[in-house]
Amino acid sequence: MQIFTMDIEQDMAAALAFAGLLSRYSLTGEFYITGDMLRKYPAAVRALAKRHIICGHGYHHERFAELSLSQQQAVVEKTVALFKLHRIPIKGWRFPYLSFTAESLVIIAGQGLFDSSLHRHRILGPFYYKKGIHLLPKHLREMPWSATDLQDTLFYQKEGRLLTHCYQFSHFRAALESYLAMRTSESSSAAIPSVSRSSARSP
């Protein structure tokens, strides 16, 4: 399973274009959106929420590891409250800059949100899962990806939640489009090799 996700902190037009592309291929994406962007573009976020999963991404895109515990708590509560005010349900959270502490994860869990803040350098480290509060299914890896990855013909064998940003969209739009077209034609000819569970697991 591949889940395409995007962080939205500055370019709502890119987010809508990305969502449209996913929808065209019947894919449900995940969008990690700051409170600031929701405040500026509530109608656009509501449109995204009709088809895709909406998650929080800080209020002003804060660097959580540099905040006190009570500041962290306040930012999360303020962001969650704003989504509630707009009646847009959020399911998860990604910390801006993937910056967080062990306590940050407890705050997110307390709000009933899953966290999706794994970092490329943390994927190989066992510490994250050991805390027992990462609410992501354990077999699902999280990977930053780029236009270069999409040009790798083996990309479709990779399972997991794929992380990218709104401001990168113009760089990978064409590659994503041809990747999705290729993936669709591969799956209609049933040629996608299965990926073993063990290789998809974090060590």
Q: Does 115 bind Zn ion (CB under 5 A)?
A: no
Q: How far is the CB of 8 from Zn ion (least distance, A)?
A: 8
Q: Does 96 bind Zn ion (CB under 5 A)?
A: yes
Q: Which residue, judged by CB position, is nearest to Zn ion in the bound state?
A: 7
Cα–Cα dist 78/134, whole Å: 22
The encoded tokens of residue 96 equal: 């801006």
How many whole angstroms separate alpha carbon 114 and alpha carbon 162?
15
Q: Taking CB under 5 A as the rule, does residue 11 contact Zn ion?
A: no
Name which of 61 and 183 has its Cβ closer to Zn ion.
Answer: 61
Contact 143, 158 (CB under 8 A): yes
Number of Cβ within 10 Å of residue 85's Cβ equals 11
Considering the complex, state which of residue 9 and residue 62 has its C-beta at the smaller distance from Zn ion.
Answer: 9
Count the site residues for Zn ion by CB under 5 A.
Answer: 3
The answer to whether 76 touches 100, Cβ cutoff 8 Å, is: no
The one among 5, 6, 7, 79 contacting Zn ion by CB under 5 A? 7
Which residues of the shown chain bind Zn ion in the complex (CB under 5 A)? 7, 9, 96
